[in-house]
Structure 1
Amino acid sequence: MDFDLTDEQRMLQDSLQRLLAERCSFEQRLASRDEPGGYSRALWSRHAEMGLLGLPFAEGDGGLGGGPVETLIVMQALGRVLALEPYLPTVVLCGALLREAGSPAQRDAQVGAIVAGERTLAFASAESQSRDDLADVTTRAERDGEGWRLSGTKRFVLAGDSADLLIVSARTHGEVRDRDGVSLFLVDPGAAGVTRRGYRTQDHQRAADIRFDAVRLDADASLGPEGAALPLIERAVDTATAALCAEAVGAMERLHEITVEYLTMRKQFGVAIGSFQALQHRAVDMLVAVEQARSMAFYAAMMCSEPDAAERGRAISAAKVQINKSARFVGQEAIQLHGGIGMTEECQAGHYFRRLSVIEMLFGDTAHHLRRVAAGGGLS
């Protein structure tokens, strides 16, 4: 596999890094988290102006026709600054669902608004009992005339409290955990019967628990094939997992830089603690972990286009295992090398550690992905 970036990809990387350096400093991030929705609407508009929100969508749908590597570049840059904007849930995850399951009319209605920065989306999938099983769906959608009635509760919906539109997984037939019978629906969060309880997560992002109480849906709210949406959901979640791996690499990169800067500045016994060989070795071990994660993030991005679902899933799970291990190691080492100050609100290292801790659990923890790789017979 060729991991070298093209000239166009390098231009994207450079321009995005310049924008984020100017508009997303640590202090600006702290201010943005208190804005409505928990992120900067002004920065989201700048993303739209740069074309970032249309990057993974086909040109025919109004996007730029970018691929997984372009998404990796964006997510890695966002990870470096701990961006709060809902790029992952709106553009990557829900964008993948629209590309995979949306009809031309649905894509025409939604993609343009996403690309313009006028609409954010959230995917409501997880439930109290489901853990990481995407087929474990108890939320029900039943026929009601030509439309549907949706009932159930979804948990930990990323950016769900501020999203303008929800994509909801629901069972239209079959038993809980059946692979057959899962469908997708577009739901207006302002519709009668929808209740959202938003909250801030430990990494200062936003999420919501959402209840659907006999919500009336029109016939055109159904997204994709009725009862056969699970493979499409799995592919979209694989795409989002690969993007999350890239975000983690960006966060680990910056956390390593912050830690090395601290080692050169902090003095003990009259000398910088970075002069102690034992601490130098630990900083190098952190760098090795970051580079291991970087290579696996590129591998995951390359495998997003793999048509064989089983092979794609094994590869991305293997990447997530390495990302999780590296994230935990780099995060813990950074906190230990900073000492007690590392966990304070004033220290950037603690914020990166918290985000990496959440990333470790998102879309499946290490044990889940190890089981997935093992169940598929390992990597080919």
Structure 2
Amino acid sequence: MAKLTQTEEEILLSEAAKGFLAKSAPVSRLREMRDGGSRSDPELWQEMAAAGWAGVLVPEAAEGSDMGHAAAHVLAREMGRNLTVSPFLSTAVMAATLLRQLQDDASRDKLKQIAAGGLTYALALDENSKFSPESVGLSAEKRGNGYVLNGKKRFVVDGCEADRILVLANSADGLCLFDLANQAKGLEREVLAMIDSRDAADLVFDAVEVSGDALLGKAGAGYDLLKPALEAGQAALAAETTGLSEAAFALTTGYLKERKQFGITIGSFQALQHRAAHLWCEIELTHSAVLNAGRILDESPEEAALAVSVAKARASDTAQKSVQEGVQMHGGIGMTDAFDMGFYMKRARVAAEWLGDYGYHAGRVAQLRGF
């Protein structure tokens, strides 16, 4: 049974991350970026890399800090509290988890660049309105020593600003995973106007030629290679979403203690106390689910699928409850752009869809439990 409380080291890491993000990436920074039309924060990413965050899952042999998934979740949770804009999930978690499986010089060099903050990634997976990574229509036609890619990928998070793209495509041999430059000839980006003001794009592949070196692993084994990276990303996203829920809850309870109605603070109303207490319990249960997923990913990653889907499903549901209660308990001010609650609601909605929504993961839990 995994330990469902934070270790002393994790508490210290959380406190350090909280202090760093409060100074370098408060929610007001996201507001400034949105108002200025910016979708990324490269300066902040360099600061994170200098602190060892970009290399949290990069082996020490590749100059990473290799702190493990549970530590990555601590960082992601604190980023969720501040709605921090960074390529952390796509690059430091998913790309690093994928590349560290490959025992070759090219992958080790890429891992070194990730840890140093010099290389970022996006994952191009979705092709339909819902997450279904194994339903791949984008084609990879063998041509000489390389391939030609044709098709479209939707909702590619970090798809505009990332240096490289990991693409799952369908070939005559089965699903193949490719690593290609974001500026490849024939690759076009359609910028998405996301409600959470962050970087995302649809990618169109029009006869994109890639060399045989772009193929990761063996032809036909692309999804097997991708699966551990997906589970790592889903668990880390659950951690980030849990931090979001906690921050929205803190905003709400702070408001309940200050707002007066008929000369009485509304936090003294029993009905609101009951709702707040219920939400607190939901957040604590979700935090435990995330801790469990992190422990299993570190100790027995091949057995983590159930724990990861439980964490992602719970985190999505809890965040939705947290932001909805926050808006309702704030009343009219909760719907205004001048107040931060709207930013949390928008981010919660996007996070719920990325890498599988509640329905996807609830179905996965049922399947893994034999139902």
Q: What is the TM-score of this pair, normalised by structure 1? A: 0.92
CA contact (8 A) 1:77 1:250 kept: yes
Aligned residues: 370
Q: Relative contact order, CA 8 A, sep 6+: which one is greater?
A: 2
Matched with 1:113 is: 113
Q: Deviations over 1:92-121 (max 9, x none)?
A: 122222123x34222233112211212211
Gaps of 5+ in 2: none
Question: What's the secondary structure of 2:18's corresponding residue?
Answer: helix
Decide whether the 8 Å contact of 1:33 with 1:40 is kept in 2: no
Within 5 A, what are the aligned runs for 1:211-360? 211-305=204-298, 307=300, 309=302, 311-360=303-352
Q: Give the Cα–Cα distance (whole angstroms) in 1 for the partners of residues 234 and 62 of structure 2.
A: 24
Q: Distance in 2 between matches of 1:64 and 1:375?
A: 36
Structure 1: tracts of 5 or more residues without a match: 175-180
Look up the equivalent residue of 2:92 and give its one-letter code: V
The SS at the match of 1:304 is helix
How far does residue 35 in structure 1 lie from its aligned partner after superposition? 6.1
Q: Secondary structure at the match of 2:154?
A: strand
Name 2:169's counterpart in structure 1. 170
1:113–1:35 distance in 2 versus 1, CA, 3 Å: farther
Pair 34,55 (structure 1): closer, same or farther in 2 beyond 3 Å: farther
Task: Check conservation: 1:248, 1:356, Cα contact below 8 A.
Answer: yes
- Does residue 362 (structure 1) correspond to residue 354 (structure 2)? The answer is yes
What CA distance in whole angstroms lies between the structure 2 residues aligned with 1:307 and 1:140? Answer: 34
TM-score with structure 2 setting the length? 0.94
Counterpart of 1:178 in structure 2 is none
Tell me how far 1:252 sits from its aligned partner.
Answer: 0.8
Return the offset for 1:365: 1.7
1:80 counterpart letter in structure 2: R
Q: Is contact 1:37–1:162 with CA below 8 Å preserved after alignment?
A: no
Once the two structures are superposed, what CA deviation does each residue of 1:153-199 show, in whole Å capped at 9, x if it has no partner? 1100001011111111111226xxxxxx1111111121210101122
Give me the whole-angstrom Cα distance separating, in 2, the residues matched to 1:126 and 1:135: 9
**Aligned counterparts of 2:34 and 2:40: Cα–Cα separation in 1:** 5
Q: What residue in structure 2 maps to residue 8 of structure 1?
A: 9
Q: Match of 1:156, SS?
A: strand
Counterpart for residue 196 of structure 1: 189
Return the alpha-carbon distance in structure 2 between the equivalents of residues 209 and 240 of structure 1.
20
* Alignment-derived partner of residue 151 in structure 2: 152
**1:374 matches 2:358:** no
Say whether the 8 Å CA contact 1:160–1:208 is kept in structure 2: yes
Is the 2:131–2:353 Cα contact (8 Å) retained in structure 1? no
Q: Matched residues, percent identical?
A: 34
The answer to whether the 8 Å contact 1:33/1:39 transfers is no
CA RMSD of aligned residues (A): 1.9
Report what 2:84 is aligned to.
83
Distance 2:285 2:5 in 1: 16
What SS does structure 2 have at the residue aligned with 1:240?
helix
- Larger CA deviation: 352-361 vs 27-36: 27-36
Question: Structure 1's 377 and 215: CA in aligned 2 closer, same or farther, altered over 3 A?
Answer: same
C-alpha displacement of 1:146: 1.3
CA gap of 1:196–1:69, structure 2 versus 1, over 3 A, is same
